[in-house]
């Protein structure tokens, strides 16, 4: 779903090692590797992912991240594309709208 991005374990040690410090967008995945949330980080992807991990929702096992100059616009593009493809929002984006 994200350009040039691989999935990583949603564990604090991995986030600290792999997540960029730049602003960008991210996807969170469940155990079936389905996208359950699409989000944005206006400052640090690493910090934002660590905050999401601290407030962890059930079933999130992996993440991917993409550094972009305009996270808000890119996340809206990703969410729109997901909805066009699957007919609904990712699970945890449904509760935030």
Please tell me the class of the 8-94 domain.
alpha beta
Share of the chain above pLDDT 70, in %: 96
CB atoms within 10 A of CB 63: 26
Q: Please state the separation of Cα 56 from the chain's center in Å.
A: 13
pLDDT for res 96? 61
pLDDT digits (tens, 9 = 90+) for 74-92: 999 999 999 999 999 999 9
* All structural domains of the chain with their residue ranges: 8-94
Name the one residue in this structure whose structure tokens are 């994200």.
Answer: 2
Cβ atoms of 50 and 32 closer than 8 Å? no
């Amino acid at each position: 779903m994200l350009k040039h991005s691989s999935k990583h374990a949603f564990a604090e040690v991995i986030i600290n090692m792999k997540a960029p410090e730049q602003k960008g967008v991210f996807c969170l995945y469940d155990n079936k590797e389905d996208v359950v949330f699409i989000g944005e980080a206006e400052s640090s992807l690493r910090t934002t992912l660590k905050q999401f991990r601290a407030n962890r929702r059930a079933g999130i096992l992996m993440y991917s991240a993409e550094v972009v100059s305009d996270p808000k616009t890119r996340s809206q593009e990703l969410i729109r594309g997901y909805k066009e493809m699957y007919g609904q929002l990712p699970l945890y984006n449904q509760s935030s709208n």
